Amino acid sequence: MPTLIRKSRTLHLPITLSVVLMSLNIALMVCWIIFLAQGSQWSALTVGTVLFALILVGLTFYLVLSIKSVRLHQRQINFVDSVTHELKSPIASLRLYIDTLRMRQELDAEQRTEFYETMARELSRLEELINQLLEVGRLERLGEETSPEDVALEPLLRKCAENACKHHQVEFEPVFAFDAHPAFVHARPMLLEMIFGNLLDNAVKYGGDEPSVEVEVRVHRRRVVTRIADSGPGVPPEQRKKIFDLFYRGGNELQRTRKGTGLGLYIVRTLVHILRGHIHVYNRYRKPGSIFEVELPGREG
């Protein structure tokens, strides 16, 4: 299980908090007994009030931890449901095509080629899902292993957009707008491909039957700002922070119509922070869709 997930489940903080609360409770009773025995009622009242307030603060903090734990558990349940659906779909499809190829020998070469291409796409889906699951466990190490270089952003973005269109089998040309100055980001190419690959994949996925994607890049004071605008339903204000949480996906997994695991945007935010950048999301003005804005360090030197 990934290190980040194990950390979220650690018992150290709740146990420590429980011990502190029990110690405060014992101290409260001991102080009351001592002060009442000495006839110091005001001292007993003062010390008792302070200790009681600390206990209330501790209980409130413990309640907050419990609520967060329940929410994390619910996201993990959604994640398991989502991964189950994501794995079963391509496996069932592959089995169907393999059985068809084995049982129907009369298929012509064109039909067989079409089947093989579909099977290759399903295998790519499986590979993508497995890679995302593995990357979650590698995120912390990536920050330590990073050997950055100056990467030209324009060809990388075009490649990511092309891959997203192929993945979702849609044909359209994203609109690119680049600054007059060539944009270079100081990072590892693989990390940038993961960041913008996920964002552009989401832009195509949530863009409807005829998606529209606009990519704008500008350079400002050795920082590179990239905006990716889509034609989807947008992101409600109350979800704009939650969508970057691990496992988070709004709604019920079993009632969902779009594929996903709740890992993509978590990976994006974590990698952006590893690269000492920032990411923001907001809705488009006077038209449907959302805009994801990523700011990253530019060329060194």
pLDDT digits (tens, 9 = 90+) for 270-294: 889 888 899 999 998 888 889 999 9
Please write down the long-range contacts of 171-176, taking CB distance under 8 Å and 24 or more positions apart: 172/210, 172/211, 172/212, 172/213, 174/200, 174/213, 174/214, 174/215, 175/212, 175/213, 175/214, 175/215, 176/215, 176/216, 176/217
* Beta carbons of 245 and 258 less than 8 angstroms apart: no
Report the distance separating Cα 247 and Cα 76, nearest Å.
6
Average pLDDT over residues 4-20: 59
Report the distance separating Cα 130 and Cα 149, nearest Å.
27
Query: Do 154 and 266 share a domain, yes or no?
Result: yes
Tell me what pLDDT residue 29 has.
Answer: 72
Look at residue 101 and tell me whether its pLDDT is greater than 70: yes
Query: Do 135 and 185 share a domain, yes or no?
Result: no
Tell me what pLDDT residue 157 has.
Answer: 94
- Secondary structure percentages of the chain, helix, strand, coil, to 5: 60, 15, 25
Per-residue pLDDT tens over the stretch 219-255: 888 899 999 999 888 888 888 888 887 667 655 443 3
Look at residue 14 and tell me whether its pLDDT is greater than 70: no
Domain that holds residue 3: 1-145
Query: Do 38 and 74 share a domain, yes or no?
Result: yes
- 79 falls in which pLDDT band (50, 70, 90)? low
Query: Do 9 and 126 share a domain, yes or no?
Result: yes
Tell me what pLDDT residue 145 has.
Answer: 54
Average pLDDT over residues 88-115: 83
Report the distance separating Cα 280 and Cα 123, nearest Å.
33
Q: Which helix (H) or strand (E) holds 177?
A: strand 175-178
Report the distance separating Cα 142 and Cα 14, nearest Å.
29
CATH assignment of the domain containing 236: 3.30.565.10
Tell me what pLDDT residue 60 has.
Answer: 78
Per-residue pLDDT tens over the stretch 246-261: 667 655 443 344 555 5
* Domain final residue pick, 107, 129, 145: 145
Query: What are the φ/ψ torsions at residue 180 (nearest 5 degrees)?
Result: -65, -30
Look at residue 295 and tell me whether its pLDDT is greater than 90: yes
Query: Do 8 and 118 share a domain, yes or no?
Result: yes
- 9 falls in which pLDDT band (50, 70, 90)? very low
Tell me what pLDDT residue 170 has.
Answer: 82
- 4 falls in which pLDDT band (50, 70, 90)? very low
* Domain final residue pick, 80, 110, 145: 145
Report the distance separating Cα 22 and Cα 88, nearest Å.
49
Query: Do 76 and 92 share a domain, yes or no?
Result: yes
Burial class (CB in 10 A: 0-12, 13-18, 19+), 193: middle
Tell me what pLDDT residue 200 has.
Answer: 93
Q: Which helix (H) or strand (E) holds 63?
A: helix 41-103
* Domain final residue pick, 121, 145, 169: 145
- 8 falls in which pLDDT band (50, 70, 90)? very low
**Residue found under tokens 């298929």:** 107
Percent of the chain with pLDDT over 90: 15
In the three-class reduction of DSSP (H, G, I as helix; E, B as strand; rest coil), residue 172 is classed as coil
Q: Please tell me the total count of domains within the chain.
A: 2
- 132 falls in which pLDDT band (50, 70, 90)? low
Look at residue 194 and tell me whether its pLDDT is greater than 50: yes
